[in-house]
Amino acid sequence: MKRMIYDGDPGIDDALAIILAIKSGEFDLEAVTTVAGNVSLEKATKNALRILRLTGRLNIPVAAGIPSPFGRGLERAEYVHGDNGLGGTSLPLPGVEDKCIGALDLIIAKIMKKPGEITLVACGPLTNLAEIYMKEPRIGENVRELIIMGGAVQVPGNVTPHAEFNIYTDPESAQIILRSDLPLTIVPLDVTMKTIFTVYDLEQIYEVRTPVAEFAYNALRYYQNIPKHKKLGGCPLHDPLAVGVAIDESFVKTKELYVNVVTDNIITLGKTLVGEKNTGELEVCASKHKVCLEVDARRFIRFFIDTITAD
């Protein structure tokens, strides 16, 4: 079986992404590591534990990473995910928090121990990943692939007109990763904003009476009803799509591009820069990455519903 480490900031869509990874049965989920983003590191870590308890998978290690972005304060997104980060749902917290230390060492150890086997899916700010890469650059040759949810290439941002949340929150760390020669697939807003989970989709989950489906129903209903999603007629499945791409790359079409990010302009901070040649602002890029630009959204949403509602 393929192996995955999920690094994220749960977060409603992170929670659903973790559930998708587990319930797909496609991956041995080797660890869930957390980073400050949508909510504080402490809340993100507790939420990861809540999700593993919900899925009956507390055997999967949870490890906390870095509590704030590189040289910046954290601009959280509780206005999107609710105060507790899980849309006001009240899942019990298992009593194993004191084990939650050391995400960086855990990720490095797991990748280096199983060269070429671990898919690392990162769906929060790239703070942990940049730190890991600086500490142990050989992860580049030893990770199977690295899939990140982040950026906005040909579409507007979702936190400023220019920038997407995960990149905007820690642009310096994002820049380290995007300019690197790590084997990256980037899942930007260009595709995630097309995976709109509608009220009709939600009805199909309502009929299912498992604890996971009940949580998904309540969290997705909350997520659909925040003002910016109401206007869209549903909520985007950002982080679940990144896991979807890890499971089946045919959900998307990719293009090989050089990628960089603006870090030094207050107006365009966090803007994704792409090009086919590494000239100008992209001159500093070590290699091209796979950038997802098209998605079979309905096929992915069908897969998402079927997987999270399965017994």
Q: Is 201 in the site for ligand BDR (CB under 6 A)?
A: no
Q: Which of 123, 143, 177, 247 binds ligand BDR (CB under 6 A)?
A: 123
The answer to whether the peptide bond before residue 11 is cis (omega within 30 degrees of 0) is yes
Surface-to-core class of residue 3, CB atoms within 10 Å of its CB (0-12 exposed, 13-18 middle, 19+ buried)? middle
Going from the C-alpha of 281 to that of each of 175, 187, 222, 275, the distances in angstroms are 12, 21, 40, 9
Q: Is 11 in the site for Ca ion (CB under 5 A)?
A: yes
Selected catalytic residue, list 81, 162, 229, 238: 238
Query: Interaction with Ca ion in 222-241: which residues (CB under 5 A)?
Result: 239
DSSP β-bridge partners for residue 273: 260
**Token couple for 44:** 């993100």
Q: Which residue of this chain has its Cβ atom nearest to ligand BDR in the complex?
A: 165
Residue whose structure tokens are 């097309």 = 194
Query: Interaction with ligand BDR in 154-193: which residues (CB under 6 A)?
Result: 158, 164-166
Residue whose structure tokens are 């995400």 = 103
Q: Is 14 in the site for Ca ion (CB under 5 A)?
A: yes
Stretch of 109-117, 121-129, 181-189, 199-207 contacting Ca ion, by CB under 5 A: 121-129
Q: Which of 131, 170, 239, 296 binds ligand BDR (CB under 6 A)?
A: 239
Given ligand BDR, Ca ion, none, residue 7, with its beta carbon under 5 to 8 Å by kind, binds none
Strands 234-236 and 196-198: antiparallel
Mapping DSSP to helix (H, G, I), strand (E, B) and coil, where does residue 198 land? strand
Q: Closer to ligand BDR at the Cβ: 14 or 30?
A: 14
Given Ca ion, ligand BDR, none, residue 164, with its beta carbon under 5 to 8 Å by kind, binds ligand BDR
Q: Is 7 in the site for Ca ion (CB under 5 A)?
A: no
Note if 238 is an active site residue. Answer: yes
DSSP character string of 224-237:
HTSHHHHTTTEEE-
Identify the helix (H) or strand (E) that includes residue 296.
none
CA-based angle 26:29:30, to the nearest 5? Answer: 140
The answer to whether residues 93 and 62 touch, using CB atoms and an 8 Å cutoff, is: no
**Token couple for 181:** 């020669």
Q: Is 38 in the site for ligand BDR (CB under 6 A)?
A: yes
Q: Which of 60, 66, 122, 123 binds Ca ion (CB under 5 A)?
A: 123
Q: Is 11 in the site for ligand BDR (CB under 6 A)?
A: yes
Given Ca ion, ligand BDR, none, residue 80, with its beta carbon under 5 to 8 Å by kind, binds ligand BDR
Which residues lie below 8 Å from residue 298, measured CB to CB, with a gap of 6+?
A: none
DSSP character string of 86-109:
STT--PPPPS-GGG---HHHHHHH
Q: Is 13 in the site for ligand BDR (CB under 6 A)?
A: yes
Q: Is 271 in the site for ligand BDR (CB under 6 A)?
A: no
Q: Closer to ligand BDR at the Cβ: 1 or 67?
A: 67
Interface ranges with ligand BDR (CB under 6 A): 11, 13-14, 38, 77, 80, 123, 149, 158, 164-166, 238-239
Please list the active-site residues. 238
Interface ranges with Ca ion (CB under 5 A): 8-9, 11, 14, 123-124, 239
